[in-house]
Amino acid sequence: MKTKYKGLKRLYIALIFIFMYAPIALLIVQSFNSSKSRGHWGGFTLDWYRSLFTDASIGEAFTNTILLALLSSVISVILGTAAVIYMSKLKKSPRTILMGVTNVPMLNADIVTGVSFMLLFLTLRIQFGFVTILLAHITFNIPYVILNVMPRYRELNPHIYEAALDLGASPVYAFFKTVLPEIMPAILSGGLMAFTMSIDDFIITHFTAGAGVHTLSTKIYSEVKLGIKPEMYALSAMIFVTVLLLLILVNRVPAKADAHGKEAV
Q: Closer to another protein by CB, 56 or 265: give it.
A: 265
Q: Which residues contact 59 (CB under 8 A, 6 or more apart)?
A: 53
Residue 178: CB minimum distance to another protein, A: 5
Neighbours of 68 (CB within 10 A): 24
CA 211 to chain centre: 24
Q: Closer to another protein by CB, 153 or 207: give it.
A: 153
Residue 91: CB minimum distance to another protein, A: 11
Residue 188: CB minimum distance to another protein, A: 13
Q: Closer to another protein by CB, 175 or 240: give it.
A: 175
Q: Closer to another protein by CB, 4 or 159: give it.
A: 159
Residue 263: CB minimum distance to another protein, A: 4
Contact 215, 64 (CB under 8 A): yes
Distance CA 61, CA 214 (A): 5
Q: Closer to another protein by CB, 84 or 174: give it.
A: 174
Distance CA 6, CA 9 (A): 5
Residue 78: CB minimum distance to another protein, A: 20
The residue among 61, 33, 58 whose CA lies nearest residue 47 is 33
Q: Which residues of 20-48 are buried (b: 16+ CB within 10 A; e: fewer)?
A: eeeeeeeebebbbbeeeeeeeeeeeeeeb
Which residues sit at the interface with another protein, rule CB under 8 A? 157, 159-160, 162-171, 173-174, 177-178, 181-182, 184, 260, 263-264
Q: Closer to another protein by CB, 47 or 162: give it.
A: 162
Residue 154: CB minimum distance to another protein, A: 15
Distance CA 230, CA 218 (A): 16
Angle, helix 56-88 to helix 216-225, in steps of 10 degrees: 130
Distance CA 93, CA 109 (A): 26
Residue 158: CB minimum distance to another protein, A: 8
DSSP state of 40: S
Q: Closer to another protein by CB, 252 or 260: give it.
A: 260
DSSP state of 127: P
